[in-house]
Structure 1
Amino acid sequence: MFSLRSINNQMITNSPASLNIIRRNLAQITSIHAIPTLKTQPTTKQHSIEEGNKRKQLLERPGLFAIKQGMITWFTSKGEQLPATVLEINSCEVINHKTEIEHGYDANIIGTIDKLKNYPRLHELKMFEEAGVSPKYKFGEFRVRDSSNLLPLGTELKADYFAVGQLVDIKGITKGKGFAGVMKRWNFKGGRATHGVSKAHRTPGAMGGNQNPGRVLPGKKMPGRMGTSNMTDFNKEVLHVDGNAGILILKGCIPGPNKGIVRVSDALKLYGKSLNQLARE
């Protein structure tokens, strides 16, 4: 600790370099009320799998696969006539799990339609053997909120997994229409039928400017292959379920051709919640 007399003596006897050292030491004396260090938390990566799972809308239970069998006319008890779609639930069973520790998220892997002969992927037979189920023609994963929503291996999901009156979401692949023009694919008006139009009645017309921009912009609506794209129909009402017969009837139409496989799950807009939303509640 420096005294005033010692500092004055050093200022008289020492060189200018020594005076700078003394002044620097005096400046380093900190107040008892000052905070010398502050430990901050490391920043989180918002694009990581963990943070993405917290923001993602997830359901409490998985869905299942169904086979579209066609459309019928459904009559209610009040005599109302409704268009409806018949779905078949065929041997939907839980064959595997994906856990957050190993894959970053929790999911149930559901399989449907037994394939007992000529299974093409022999390395997957061990997965079916461990689950105690037959090899499946089609299987896929259904993500859930946490590990408590993972169903036991071998659990069979029937049509009565859903209740009459509840809303479900349908995910499927739309019918393929082949190569289509702009009038069929994008509902363009087309050219005139007469009055000077020669062999250009269904053409798209001008596609780009001459000098500005001088090119066709990306995303321009043009002729191309139509259909065979993923589509989701939200909030379809369940009209009838029969667990023993494996029949599920929904109100309205759904994407995909007859005999096509679709994914049926609880309505995400109604029952889905994110982990961040649950934490705030």
Structure 2
Amino acid sequence: MGKGLIGRKVGMTQIFDDAGNRIPVTVVKVEGNVVVQKKSAKGKDGYSAIKVGFGDVKLLEKEGTEPKWRLSKPRVGVFLKAGIDKPRRFVREFRVSEGELDSYEVGQELGADTFNVGVWIDVTGTSKGRGFTGVMKRHNFAGAKASHGVHEFFRHGGSIGMSATPGRVFKGKKMAGQHGNARVTVQNLRIMQVLPDENAILIKGAIPGPNGGVVTLRSAVKKTVV
């Protein structure tokens, strides 16, 4: 249980603490978060949570036709039903306690001040896609020796087979293949600064995805001190 926001990764920079130590941080813009729906454990859903929308949607305006959002009608209808005139492209759900549910209202805008400086969060995003890569890049294999008779085998993975028993390749064997472009969560990252005027959050360390990628910020699940 805890707080959550959707944001867009801007990039990395550095800040300095009072002792002059350099701290690498990632800047995340969280402007435009809005509460779309509240779910209560006492209702038909059976659990308490909030749904949050984020990301601008273009309005297609063509002469002689009715303006239409560049989004499917069912997704637009979710926002219209909630009384939100401008739909959002991304929707995420965050579990909250029943007591915390009362502090949210449908249509409420959430900003960077949702989180405080010093709290621990988990960040989820889609990692950079690197295409089809070999075992050295994908799994950090050492590779073969580059001398003493090794011939055109420098970056290979070595033997993958078995003896007569079991006589097959086990599932999950580390081999070459698709690398990246996967959902990744980095846990226990600390918020170093909150900039309410810019609706930005500075997070210590690196987070998944390219600059401009959409990420989800949640209260850390493995930290008891917040």
Return the TM-score normalized by structure 1.
0.71
Q: Report what 1:141 is aligned to.
A: 93
> What is the percent sequence identity of the aligned residues?
37
State whether structure 2 residue 60 is matched by structure 1 residue 107: no
Please report how far the alpha carbon of residue 244 of structure 1 lies from its aligned counterpart in structure 2 after TM superposition: 2.3
- Would the alpha carbon gap of residues 135 and 271 (structure 1) be closer, same or farther in structure 2, given more than 3 Å must change? farther
Matched, 1:247 2:200: yes
The residue aligned with 2:64 is none
Hey, which of these two has a bigger chunk of helix by percent?
Answer: 1
How many residue pairs match? The answer is 213
Pair 1:65-2:3 in alignment = no
Cα distance between partner residues in 2 of 1:83 and 1:148? 32
Distance across 2 between alignment mates of 1:148 and 1:246: 22
Residue of structure 1 equivalent to 2:144: 191
Q: Which structure carries more strand by proportion?
A: 2
Deviations 1:140-161 (A, max 9, x none): 1112233752621011110011
SS in 2 for 1:82: strand
2:71–2:89: 8 Å Cα contact kept in structure 1?
no
Verify: 1:265 aligned to 2:179, yes or no: no
* Structure ranking higher on relative contact order (CA contacts 8 Å, 6+ apart): 2
Cα RMSD, aligned residues only: 1.8
| 2:190 aligned with 1:237 | yes
Greater shift, 85-94 or 203-212, is seen at 203-212
> In the alignment, is the contact (CA less than 8 A) between 1:92 and 1:158 conserved in 2?
yes
| Structure 2: distance between partners of 1:270 and 1:203 | 41
Q: CA deviation at 1:125?
A: 2.1
Q: Which runs of 5+ in 1 are unaligned?
A: 1-58, 273-281
Contact kept, 8 Å, 1:167 with 1:266, in 2: the verdict is: yes
User: CA separation of 1:148/1:74 partners in 2, compared to 1, >3 Å: closer, same or farther?
Assistant: closer
Is residue 78 of structure 1 aligned with residue 19 of structure 2?
yes
Unpaired segments ≥5 residues, structure 2: 60-68
Aligned-pair CA distance for 1:124: 2.4
Q: Deviations over 1:7-56 (max 9, x none)?
A: xxxxxxxxxxxxxxxxxxxxxxxxxxxxxxxxxxxxxxxxxxxxxxxxxx
Q: State which of 120, 130, 147 in structure 2 corresponds to 1:167.
A: 120
Amino acid at match of 1:266: S
For residues 75-118 of structure 1, give each alpha carbon's deviation from its aligned partner in whole angstroms, at most 9, with x where no partner exists: 11221111111110121000113344423322211001231413
Label 1:148 to 1:83 Cα distance change in 2 as closer, same or farther (>3 A).
closer
Q: State the TM-score, normalized to the length of structure 2.
A: 0.87
- Residue by residue over 1:228-277, the C-alpha shift from the partner in whole angstroms, topping out at 9 and shown as x without a partner, is 122222221111112221111111111111101111121211259xxxxx
Q: Which amino acid aligns with 2:91?
A: F
CA contact (8 A) 1:179 1:223 kept: yes
